[in-house]
Amino acid sequence: MGALADFWLETDARELRWKIILTVVAILVIRRVYIIIDRLYLSPLAKFPGPKLAAATSLYESYYDVIKGGVYYKQIQKLHKIYGPILRVNPYELSVDDGSFYDTVYVSGGIRQTEEFNYFVQGLDLGNTFFATKDHKLHRQRRRPVEPYFSRAGVTKLEPIMSECVQKLSDRYDSFEGTGKISRVDHAMQALTGDIIRRVCIGDGEDYLDDEEFSPGWHDLMHSIALCIPVFVVFPWVIHFLKFIPEKALVWIAPHTQAFNTYREMATKHIEDTKKEDPSKIDLDGAKIGSKPTLFRYLIHKSDLSEEDKDTHRLANEAQSLLGAGSVTTARTATVCIYYLLKCPEICARVQEEIKDFVVDWPETAPTFQDLEKLTYLQAVIKEGLRVSYGSLHRLSRISPHEPLQYKDWTIPPGVPVGMNAYYMHTDPEIYPEPFKFDPDRWLDNVTPEMKRNFVPLAYAEISLVLAVLFRPGGPKFRLYETDETDIGSLHDYIIPIGRFGSKGARIIFD
């Protein structure tokens, strides 16, 4: 204390500023050293293998995702080969590269309480959506009213919406035939899935499919947001800073944000208008009131959500989250399937032969998902498309808040996030021989329990219908145009997979 007192007593006004700065810097350095020592030697994760730099600071992960462009998932795979199947990937989190542990990590709430660890949503201001809600009980409360809408019975009720949107896409493709027009499949699929989920959620608004080029701004917006996620993870305050920038200035800086602003405003208006409706005059099981019943009309008038969770801002965030999650991954998988059907004529011929009797009366009669899911080869193509598109290259971690998890000789303490990566599981050569080959036949015979365990499926109904309609006998004629696997590949992890930087996308031409 004496030395510190002498330090300040000898201070004159001229030196005061620098001594304050030096004192603050010293405190910050001491604090950082303490944090690093705690992470390396005192943390419950200190015993787990992995590079010390990754354990000491999140900047190790940020280097690979922000500076090198979304490639930390590749570095983690390399580290697993060095350190083994369980690995500390940052100061807080473990990664496990063993498909047999999947059902332990991603367990249903009825077996054991589990919590989300989607830290990347902090920078997107979507932390109050059911997808990002960490608390186990609150997550289930927010998710429960949404699940019936997307159950098998719910999907059956949505088939007219899907058929209407797919017919619009098919009609537009028919109109291009013989024109030599070049079009991007990824734009069209994103427009299609965006229109479907928008109609399901809020009903109103202009269709992305009506745009001359299938709303490239909508596709680019979703991918622009994804490319920003690693920065938002490091600097989560950025998204809050953007709120203070005038909308006109923000649109001038990033024009594609206007599409997201328009949807947010549309969702907010729909929610506000829905709250003004008289619930007694609405048949939520099928009747119309100005427009088709929507998910958010159900959430507001019929669900058991608390009044706090029916807050307009929270529901608008929920709408944005559902639109992104419900369109991007499904569109990507559909694009991958279309690419391989066009690249592999023998696969395409087998699909066309199988579907011909189910689309003979299209569009007067649309095939149902119940019919299409019985077509074994079509479903094999979709499963293989889902396998090689991965859904996400990012580990989606879970927390067991109260119970330890046991992985072989390792006891994982309660509260520790544990993640697994679909990319590692879907490319495991022990489970999928020649894992980077597109081979639907692997899903026809000798489908092992490990394949089913390692396979994480997404939206079958939309993809089944769009493939059946576009590749039906007599359907629109198009072929690939200057497109290869790098244009549809999964090279960079921005939560969603991104292909080659600078790619012109998956393009087709109508001869």
- In the chain, domain spans: 1-42, 139-391+456-509
d(CA 18, CA 11): 10
Q: What single-letter amino acid sits at 179?
A: T
What DSSP letter does each residue of 1-30 carry, written as one string? -HHHHHHHHT--HHHHHHHHHHHHHHHHHH
| Residue 445 or 121, more confident | 445
Give Cα separations from 420 to 87, 90, 104, 313 (angstroms).
Answer: 11, 14, 11, 32
Q: What average pLDDT does range 78-85 have in this prediction? A: 97
Phi and psi angles of residue 127, each rounded to the nearest 5 degrees, phi first: -65, -15
Output the CA torsion sign for 82, 84, 85, 88. negative
The domain defined by 139-391+456-509 carries CATH number 1.10.630.10 = yes
Q: According to the model, what pLDDT value does residue 288 have?
A: 43
Phi and psi angles of residue 367, each rounded to the nearest 5 degrees, phi first: -65, 145
Q: According to the model, what pLDDT value does residue 259 have?
A: 56
pTM for the full predicted model:
0.86
For residue 497, the SS3 value is strand
* Closest by CA position to 375, among listed 361, 392, 355, 389: 355
Phi and psi angles of residue 18, each rounded to the nearest 5 degrees, phi first: -70, -35
Q: Is 143 exposed, middle or buried (0-12, 13-18, 19+ CB in 10 A)?
A: middle
Q: According to the model, what pLDDT value does residue 231 have?
A: 79
Number of H helices, E strands in the chain: 22, 12
* Closest by CA position to 225, among listed 262, 254, 245, 265: 254
Q: What value does the mean pLDDT of the chain take?
A: 85
Q: According to the model, what pLDDT value does residue 292 have?
A: 55
Q: What average pLDDT does range 356-385 have in this prediction? A: 92
Q: What average pLDDT does range 427-444 have in this prediction? A: 93
Q: According to the model, what pLDDT value does residue 253 have?
A: 66
Contact 86, 407 (CB under 8 A): yes
Tokens standing for residue 3: 């030395």
d(CA 212, CA 176): 11
Q: What average pLDDT does range 327-337 have in this prediction? A: 92
* Closest by CA position to 293, among listed 162, 156, 149: 149
Q: According to the model, what pLDDT value does residue 15 have?
A: 73
* Structure confidence by residue, pLDDT tens digits, 2-21: 555 555 555 565 577 777 78
What DSSP letter does each residue of 389-456 carry, written as one string? H-S-SS---EE-SSS-EEETTEEEPTT--EE--HHHHHT-TTTSSSTTS--GGGGTS---HHHHHH--
Query: Beta-carbon neighbour count of residue 487 at 10 Å?
Result: 20
d(CA 433, CA 455): 14
448 φψ region: left (φ > 0), alpha (ψ -120 to 50), beta (else): beta
Task: Report helix angle 312-343 to 185-201, nearest 10.
Answer: 150
* Structure confidence by residue, pLDDT tens digits, 251-305: 676 665 555 566 677 778 878 888 887 776 666 554 343 445 688 888 888 888 8
Q: Is 280 exposed, middle or buried (0-12, 13-18, 19+ CB in 10 A)?
A: exposed
What lies within 8 Å, CB to CB, of 147 at 6+ separation is none
Q: What average pLDDT does range 32-43 have in this prediction? A: 93
